[in-house]
Amino acid sequence: MVGRSKEQEQEIVDWIEAVLGEKLAGQPYEDLLRDGIVLCKLINKIAPGSVNKIQTSGGSFKLMENIQRFQTALKKYGVPEEEIFQTADLYERRNIPQVTLCLYALSRLTQKHPEYTGPRLGPKMAEKNEREFTEEQLRAHEGHIGLQAGFNKGASQAGVGAFGNTRHM
């Protein structure tokens, strides 16, 4: 599990405030987002009409509906499924870093939507980046064995257990 970054969380809050044009109450990051209201307002600013009903009161289930509507809106907007957090990640504070990653993904994606002209966060997404190389530059690599050829002096990925495992909930 990735650790939390106060700087990233603050960056997200600043971005949300900039998009919404309002200051958010000074409460902890996860509490600010937990009822899904801020998230629904955010996606509606980015893609108007994404969430047509925001629950502003009611029990846990009502508020969790906000998070689920936000997640559905993210999918429609084009955020990759694997970058979208699970409801429990936020509502039960199980995986706040995943929520942060998801919001970065959303911000990044706004660059692919020319209709969105509001504030953005993080690095620009790569556009097509063509380079011209001379024959000499291209040939300079011929005698070189890259790591992709499998030559890495006995280093291995044994013990890296994070890849391919399911997320434990």
Q: What is the pTM of this model?
A: 0.72
Token pair belonging to 55: 């629950």
Averaged pLDDT, 75-82: 96
Rounded to 5 degrees, what are φ and ψ at 35? -85, 0
* pLDDT level of residue 26 (50, 70, 90 thresholds): confident
Q: Which burial class, exposed, middle or buried, applies to 33 when counting CB atoms under 10 A from its CB (0-12, 13-18, 19+)?
A: buried
Average pLDDT over residues 85-111: 96
Q: How far apart are CA 163 and CA 142, in angstroms?
A: 32
Least confident of 28-32, 83-87, 109-113, 126-130: 126-130
Q: What is the pLDDT of residue 154?
A: 59
Tally DSSP H helices, then E strands, for the chain: 7, 0
Tokens standing for residue 162: 């994070």
Just give the CATH number of 28-111: 1.10.418.10
**142 Cβ partners below 8 Å, 6+ apart?**
none
Q: What is the pLDDT of residue 160?
A: 55
Mean pLDDT in residue range 36-61 = 95
Q: What is the mean pLDDT of residues 95-102?
A: 97
Query: Is residue 162 predicted with pLDDT exceeding 60?
Result: no
Share of the chain above pLDDT 70, in %: 74
Domain boundaries, the chain: 28-111
Cβ atoms within 10 A of the Cβ of 53, count?
A: 8
Give the pLDDT confidence score for residue 11 in this predicted structure. 95
Cα gap 169→102, rounded to integer Å: 18
